[in-house]
Amino acid sequence: MSTATGLLAKSSARSRAFGSAVVAALLALSSCAQPPAETRSPRSTAPAHQDLLVGYDLLADTLADESHLGTLDLFKTLTLNAPNDAVAKLMHTLSDASKRRASELERLRHLAPDVSDEPTTPSPIGDAITDVAKEFGKSEMLSRSGGFDVRFVLLQAQATRMVAAMATATARFDPNAERKAWLKSLANEFEGYRRDLIRYIEPHDKAR
């Protein structure tokens, strides 16, 4: 099932510190206003590790949901509401990339320091927000009211931006050089997909 604003996946924790980092990263990607990660103050080991667990848990869940976009294309086709060829291609590109990246992440999470565990600090409000976002996204993707292609592209433009933001924010907490490089690559890749999605929307805006 597709991701609405990149947060349709089940998440077990949302810490305030990491939430702030995601917002900051999202603003940075939009305005380039954030200082480099190297200039930020280091955090104590235990809280920083918990932030890493939250970040990687969110990222893994989001990539897992994005990997199901190919199934969504099949579902829409079987219900006689198939997307056009350009959108179908975008769906499969995002699905394949998310599967590949999720597989890479599964291995990388076991590098030192190990971040393969789930976060231990629960956040009811974070889980509630995620559940509501999930329902909104499901409603958009399964709707038969028309305009699916544009709705899909708009939602995925948000989702790909959030993947890039989560990767950028998580890299600021991670001392592992290999994972940091991978996160940077992931952010750049999904920002590229977002540009592809925006290019799809632009001709539709000019046609109005």
Nearest to 54 by CA among 15, 4, 1: 15
The domains of the chain, with CATH numbers, are 16-206 (1.20.1260.10)
In angstroms, the CA 74 to CA 80 distance is: 10
User: Which range (20-34, 64-78, 84-98) has the least confidence?
Assistant: 20-34
- Percentage of the chain with pLDDT > 90? 40
Supply the pTM of this predicted model: 0.71
CB 159 within 8 A of CB 136: no
DSSP string, 21-53: HHHHHHHHHHH--SPPGGGSPP--HHHHHHHHH
Reply yes or no on whether the pLDDT at 164 is more than 50. yes
Per-residue pLDDT tens over the stretch 98-149? 999 999 999 999 999 999 998 887 667 767 776 776 666 565 555 556 577 8
Per-residue pLDDT tens over the stretch 57-85? 999 999 998 998 877 766 556 555 567 88
Nearest to 102 by CA among 71, 60, 65: 60
